[in-house]
């Protein structure tokens, strides 16, 4: 009977020990599962952040390519307008010469060829003014678009944007100088037109 009792006690202790071990294992398993879920959530959040960053970089890259194309187009338009500016400067010189000749009473304003040439110069100046205003608005719109975006983490992209902003500012300044030239041209054109009208009277 004593041996049977000892066996029962030993078995009871063994089951208690197994129950304790299983409880500890279950607790450790739950802790590991919780830790795994935490790390998994962290990885998921990081993956989402990476996807957002990728999308933002793609948008920035697309915007920069679009701006580059616009700047290249504007460069071509400005090169074309350089030729128009040369013509405008020549027209201004011609008008100044006409004014000097008129002041010296050495000009026949009744000649139709002179009048038609003057009207062509005036129409050319008006056309150039309209193109200049359109270019100025577009450049200003691109400059505002660039400055409205926050500085990206990629410093090379930021430098490119800064360079493009500088180019746009230079173009705006050049167009402002052209605007002054056209204003002078229009003023002197109006004076010449008035002189023609006075001569007709």
pLDDT in tens, 60-77: 778 777 777 777 777 777
Question: What average pLDDT score do residues 47-70 get?
Answer: 82
Contact status, residue 179 vs residue 191, Cβ threshold 8 Å: no
Would you state the pLDDT for residue 150?
Answer: 46
Q: Would you say residue 48 lies in a domain?
A: no
Would you state the pLDDT for residue 154?
Answer: 46
Q: Would you say residue 35 lies in a domain?
A: no
Q: Would you say residue 38 lies in a domain?
A: no
Contact status, residue 86 vs residue 178, Cβ threshold 8 Å: no
Would you state the pLDDT for residue 129?
Answer: 63
Q: Would you say residue 126 lies in a domain?
A: yes
pLDDT digits (tens, 9 = 90+) for 95-143: 666 666 655 554 444 445 555 665 666 666 666 666 666 666 766 666 6
Which comes out higher in pLDDT, residue 123 or 89? 89
| CB-based contacts of 68, cutoff 8 Å, min separation 6 | 164
Q: Would you say residue 76 lies in a domain?
A: yes
CATH of the domain at 132: 1.20.58
Contact status, residue 77 vs residue 128, Cβ threshold 8 Å: no
pLDDT digits (tens, 9 = 90+) for 166-199: 665 665 666 666 666 666 666 766 666 666 566 5
Would you state the pLDDT for residue 74?
Answer: 72
Contact status, residue 125 vs residue 186, Cβ threshold 8 Å: yes
Question: What average pLDDT score do residues 13-24 get?
Answer: 77
Give the chain's domain count: 1
Give me the domain span that covers residue 131: 60-200
Backbone torsion region of residue 188, taken as left when φ is above 0, otherwise alpha when ψ lies between -120 and 50, otherwise beta: alpha
How far apart, in whole angstroms, are the C-alpha atoms of residue 82 and residue 176?
A: 14
Listed range (15-24, 27-36, 174-183) with the worst mean pLDDT: 174-183
Q: Would you say residue 95 lies in a domain?
A: yes
User: Distances from the Cα of 199 to the Cαs of 75, 97, 102, 182, 193, in angstroms?
Assistant: 44, 18, 11, 25, 10
Would you state the pLDDT for residue 1?
Answer: 44
Query: Would you say residue 8 has pLDDT above 70?
Result: no
Q: Would you say residue 178 lies in a domain?
A: yes
Q: Would you say residue 26 lies in a domain?
A: no
């Amino acid at each position: 009977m004593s041996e049977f009792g000892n066996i029962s006690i030993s078995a009871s202790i063994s089951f208690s020990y197994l129950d304790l071990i299983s409880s500890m294992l279950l607790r450790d398993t739950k802790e590991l599962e919780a830790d795994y879920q935490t790390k998994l959530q962290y990885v998921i959040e990081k993956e989402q952040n990476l996807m957002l960053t990728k999308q933002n970089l793609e948008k920035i890259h697309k915007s920069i390519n679009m701006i580059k194309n616009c700047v290249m187009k504007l460069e071509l338009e400005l090169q074309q307008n350089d030729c128009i500016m040369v013509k405008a400067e020549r027209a201004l010189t011609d008008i100044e010469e006409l004014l000097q000749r008129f002041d010296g009473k050495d000009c026949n304003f009744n000649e139709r060829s002179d009048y038609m040439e003057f009207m062509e110069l005036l129409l050319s100046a008006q056309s150039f003014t309209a193109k200049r205003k359109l270019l100025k608005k577009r450049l200003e719109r691109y400059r505002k678009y660039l400055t409205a975006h926050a500085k990206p983490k990629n410093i090379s992209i930021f430098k490119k944007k800064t360079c493009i902003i500088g180019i746009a500012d230079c173009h705006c300044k050049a167009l402002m100088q052209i605007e002054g030239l056209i204003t002078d041209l229009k003023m002197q054109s109006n004076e010449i037109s008035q002189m023609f009208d006075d001569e007709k009277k």
